[in-house]
Amino acid sequence: DAKTTQPTSMDCAEGRAANLPCNHSTISGNEYVYWYRQIHSQGPQYIIHGLKNNETNEMASLIITEDRKSSTLILPHATLRDTAVYYCIVPNAGGTSYGKLTFGQGTILTVHP
Amino acid sequence: ETGVTQSPTHLIKTRGQQVTLRCSSQSGHNTVSWYQQALGQGPQFIFQYYREEENGRGNFPPRFSGLQFPNYSSELNVNALELDDSALYLCASSLQRGALDTQYFGPGTRLTVL
Nearest beta carbon to residue B43 from set A32, A46, A103? A103
Q: Are A39 and A28 in contact (CB under 8 A)?
A: no
Note whether B30 contacts A: Cβ–Cβ < 8 A. no
Q: Are A69 and A27 in contact (CB under 8 A)?
A: yes
Q: Name the residue of chain B whose CA is nearest to A93's CA.
A: B100
* Distance between CA atoms of residues B56 and A31, nearest Å: 18
> What mean pLDDT is predicted for residues A48-74?
95
Adjacent-strand bridge partners of B47: B34, B57
* Distance between CA atoms of residues A29 and A35, nearest Å: 18
Contacts of B35 in chain A (CB under 8 A): 101, 103
Contacts of B4 in chain A (CB under 8 A): 43
Confidence of residue A18 (pLDDT cuts 50, 70, 90): very high
Confidence of residue A29 (pLDDT cuts 50, 70, 90): confident
Note whether B14 contacts A: Cβ–Cβ < 8 A. no
Of the CA atoms within 13 Å of residue B14, those in its CB half-sphere come to 0
> What mean pLDDT is predicted for residues A84-92?
91
Residue among B100, B4, B25, B11 nearest A44 (CA): B4
Chain A residues with CB within 8 Å of chain B CB: 1, 32, 34, 42-46, 49, 85, 87, 91-94, 96-106
CA A15 to chain centre: 20
Residue contact B47–A99, C-beta within 8 A = yes
Low-confidence residues of chain B: pLDDT under 50: none
